[in-house]
Chains A and B, each alone.
Chain A
């Protein structure tokens, strides 16, 4: 069937039957080895997304024309969940027999990277199967703690063929990425049966800001060499509470669809020591004010975290604080964006004094922290340095939020008539 179709259509102008043939061969190869791959090629998913209703409703229908797999491209991208296949070398032999050249990119296993002294085998991160002028880029996804999928960066080792494919054009591999586990849908497009993410548009959305940052385990180890970790019972208990508070906060905000990131001390803990700072006493999150929702307060209350105080207002210096279990507090700072910087505000309850904390602009990256997939500023060093100054690597136990931060500025006083609104303490 497919062959007939390709004969008819493949020769049309601007179409590339080679690509269609290579994809078909590849899908045949992997299905004969029982390897469940799914399509993540952003260009094709973009096209598919436009016709998604029709594709969903006719999963088996023959295609009148080659709409998706015939646009001339250097490569087509698929994903493979590592745990769904057995690293069967037979696959590669079969691929060679079919005429594929293949390249495997391996590297360290980040899941063991946090552990100072383990050395496992390197794991495959990417495969490239090349046939004639077309290549299949197969991205290997791994499950990580925090219930998400991770793919690695694509870095060539010295002896590798740099011209095997135009690497710089690949859609995946410039950075590592973090994704939710996708729901898949088996569809037939261009007479090829292939699995795609059930909701291509949300997958594409996710892809656009999927960049992942690994914690700096090496630096964290060096830090602990200088300042041995506090393993007292109090520290163990605090970390446990902070972790469960962070899990609860993440669940609550994710349910509301509010994007947040680790801020202040919690961010410093991640960046400096890949862990909660045991003497920090609270958990700090940042949210852009444009993402503010009035539901936030009731949602936290419903989750069992009563509002402790609310300072400022949506238009200016908003800051919320919720009471977690036994004195562990959740602080949420709202960030206001200006042309060349962002800032958040602080308020001193007794005097009505306002403070302002300035940060350089930043974007958000995913990371893994205490078994959670969370955002941190991608430009973490600048963020942390802005907040804590060049001495951020040295632990400080006595901390005054009004004077200690490197980036604090006085910001006047709230007018007395507004106090009832902008200084609420429960």
Chain B
């Protein structure tokens, strides 16, 4: 683990704060233009020289590498010790912090560690945490405290930062509108004198040590509602402490060594770095008896959301039957912090040079990750695919262990997924129940190697096709009529909010109320009945037993379903042909379940729970189960609302994600 070197270093920070300070003071003076031009020419020259040198160096490096492989054992090329960076004995850091309407920057000892002048972005309070012994940046966050609830997130974050760290604050544009009392008090307790009085469009910078001295604070009041305070530039010095003082004194074990490495680099992970009572980083959940998925590799697909990854890996490593050796985290890009999280937990991580853009980038990352997984575990017949924004149920592996043989034996199956698209708090009830569905939910699923190697990998969408991998996998050309097995109550929970194409409202509406199993060791019911033919028998049995609901009532009303428990009810809706989901979509909407596209169906049948009763919906006449409809019953038809352009745009955007 300690040998891992981040490939191209994530830096380079630009050495330019002297230039910036100078620029902002003198920007408008015309006499300067000439000087700037000369400077630009010089700069170009230097760039050319540097580039030529770089090319030469790269060539030489490539050549040397070949040399090495040609030699036996020894590579006695250059026995030159790489000069180490001189140890920085400096005890004082120069810190510059700039706050203005359109730009913020922070420079530490002349190195820019934050610079944000993007339009329409980065509004609010920027916070940087420095290590008090080394001066390294340990965390960088921005809280848009112009918007609601962001101040709570900031308080949470500040509370997680260890005592003694150096905190730097600066406001871009506006940071006070939703900065509530609690947050202001926290800032005050850090030593800020201005924070309690921060108001609309004020500019503000502050540098202080958590639980210690204040190094500086500057503030510029906004003179009127329509204008901003003048830009402020705070220049101050911060005194460094010794490394010993900055570290906790945990007992010297292998685990704590990992913890120490992590905690001296990054901040914002709370009790994992607590000196007194650090939270464990090894979980040792109970092993599973007869674990059929112990040797199945687990690929965790990650981007640059290290806090999510941290939460995700904690839940994964706490799940019963987990085998950490089979876990590989695939990081899309050369990000350091996600890799730090991976190393904290002693797992292996692989970084992936981003290819292409947007959705295609994710899609290429998936392909590389899946290929690598089957390369690394050539014996594996399956791979578990997870994402960094999922919580994993305590019985996730138990669920898979009990069902994986189906995927091996039943060729009509496409996947096993831990996620039920329709499994909300009010529509999922039975942790031991499984379904077959024609849609592919993703969000924690098992992929068969033969499916990947023989079908998907060879024709995976190429980078120039800006396709979503999951939408592509759901296309009939790929799915070929096969189904996925899902649980009634999901074994994963999608906690991601800030994602590629996700927004807060969307998450709130469609994911937050999703049911998530917390019961350990659930014994799945009647797994054999999930096989292709058995499942039909099972459905017919269920429909035979089901009581037909009163079709004269409004299916959206609660009273549509009697106040019973544990009964099976069926309703019939109009569904003219296989692709007619008009009524279903309206029903899904009023039941507050997934209505953005059709999910969870099996031959025109949907299964869910209402008021703790099993609730079946059959589409007539398209579904083969229509024959179960008594002749006296007229299928319910629900009209879609009049076309309204605003509403129509939402499903299109939403269909892109998950």
Contact = CB atoms under 8 A, between A and B. Distances in A.
A and B from one complex: yes
B81 A159 contact: yes
B325 interface: yes
B396 to A, nearest CB: 21
Interface stretch (A108-116, A350-358, A400-408): A108-116
B74 A162 contact: yes
A122 interface: yes
A122 B73 contact: no
A158 B349 contact: no
B378 A143 contact: yes
Interface in B51-78: 68-69, 71-78
Interface in B371-395: 371-372, 374-379
B3 interface: yes
Given A112-B375, A115-B371, A236 B458 contact: yes
Contacts of B72: 168, 174
A158 B375 contact: no
Interface string B77-115: 111110000000000000000000000000000000000
Given A114-B375, A118-B351, A240-B458, A158 B368 contact: no
B451 to A, nearest CB: 13
Contacts of B79: 158
A173 B375 CA distance: 22
Contact of B74 (A114, A117, A167): A167
Contact of A144 (B3, B330, B353, B378): B378
B459 interface: yes
B648 interface: no
Interface string A105-147: 0100101101111111110000000000000000000011111
A155 B75 CA distance: 7
Contacts of A89: 254
A120 B349 contact: yes
A122 B4 contact: yes
Give the secondary structure class of A's interface.
loop
Contact of A121 (B3, B75, B453, B458): B3
B459 A112 contact: no
A45 B325 CA distance: 32
A122 B350 contact: no
A240 B453 CA distance: 10
B515 to A, nearest CB: 35
A21 B609 CA distance: 69
A7 interface: no
B81 A162 contact: no
A226 interface: no
Given A117-B353, A117-B368, A120-B348, A111 B68 contact: no
Contacts of A239: 458
A157 B73 CA distance: 9
Contacts of B74: 156, 162, 167
B353 A111 contact: no
Contact of B376 (A86, A112, A157): A112
A121 B376 contact: no
A117 B78 CA distance: 28
B368 A233 contact: no
B349 A121 contact: yes
Contacts of B254: 89-90
Interface residues of B, number: 41
Contacts of A168: 72-73
Interface in B284-314: none
A120 B4 CA distance: 8
A121 B350 CA distance: 7
Contacts of B458: 236, 239-240
A83 interface: yes
B378 A145 contact: yes
A168 B76 CA distance: 14
A154 interface: yes
A162 B350 CA distance: 31
A162 B368 CA distance: 37
A121 B378 CA distance: 18
A208 interface: no
A57 interface: no
B496 to A, nearest CB: 24
Given A146-B378, A236-B459, A117 B1 contact: no
A231 interface: yes
A117 B374 contact: no
Contact of B348 (A116, A119, A121, A371): A121
Nearest to B66: A218
B462 interface: yes
Contacts of B325: 83, 86
Contacts of A167: 73-74
A117 B355 contact: yes
Contact of B3 (A90, A122, A146): A122
B375 A147 contact: no
Contacts of A112: 350, 372, 375-376
A371 B628 CA distance: 50
Interface in A308-345: none
Interface in A45-88: 83, 86-87
Contacts of B4: 121-122
B77 A158 contact: yes
A118 B73 contact: no
Given A115-B371, A117-B368, A240-B454, A158 B75 contact: yes
Nearest to A236: B458
B140 to A, nearest CB: 24
Nearest to B460: A231
Give me the 7 closest cross-chain CB pairs, A-B, nearest first.
Answer: A117-B353, A120-B350, A145-B378, A111-B375, A121-B4, A236-B458, A167-B73
14 contacts: A112-B350, A115-B368, A117-B353, A118-B351, A120-B350, A122-B3, A122-B4, A145-B375, A155-B69, A156-B73, A168-B72, A168-B73, A371-B378, A371-B453
Given A83-B325, A117-B352, A143-B378, 8 more contacts: A112-B375, A118-B352, A120-B351, A121-B3, A144-B378, A159-B81, A167-B74, A168-B73
